[in-house]
Amino acid sequence: MTRDTSGLDPGGYDVVLSDGDGELARVGFWLRERGAQVQVSTDKSTYAVGEPIEVRWTDGPATRWDWIGVYKAAKSDPKVSYYLLWGYTGLHASGTLPPTVEGSMTIGPDSQGSPWPLPPGDYVVHYLLTDRYRSAGSTSFEVTG
């Protein structure tokens, strides 16, 4: 079965499977504005060594395995460079929380990867799609000594 979504406003919806006795299953999904671009930001542009970094995103595609990756600015191409710290946008246990088009996470001592704390330098944080190295949006920040 297919459904034309062109008449629906952007936002969260549920698809419900039911029979004569009631609901059998439910799954949520999001509709985004056509052409929506992921916006990534941090709460500050400069951090002290060891200071947690709040990353926010809006207009994400809300797919199950989207993730946030932190890269050194000089090596910030996710297709060829290695990320330092990371986390799924649905948190560590991705798939246990429904994905959303906007959210936030704190990069800090409990983040996956290393090193923590980040040493002084320039960094880029990417919103990466579906457990791959395809960036949908990014922003930069600095860590100072």
Which CATH number does the domain housing residue 112 bear? Answer: 2.60.40.1930
| Region for 22 from its dihedrals, namely left if φ exceeds 0, alpha if ψ lies in -120 to 50, beta otherwise | left
Cα–Cα dist 114/41, whole Å: 21
Contact 141, 44 (CB under 8 A): yes
Cα–Cα dist 76/141, whole Å: 12
Q: How many domains does the chain have?
A: 1
The pLDDT tens digits for 80-126 are 999 999 998 876 565 556 667 889 999 999 999 999 999 999 999 99
Does residue 8 fall inside a structural domain? no
Does residue 29 fall inside a structural domain? no
The pLDDT tens digits for 16-67 are 999 989 999 987 777 888 888 999 999 999 999 999 999 999 999 878 789 9
| pTM assigned to the model | 0.83
Structural domain range at position 71:
39-144
Does residue 25 fall inside a structural domain? no
Above 70 in pLDDT, residue 132? yes
Does residue 20 fall inside a structural domain? no
Length of the chain: 145
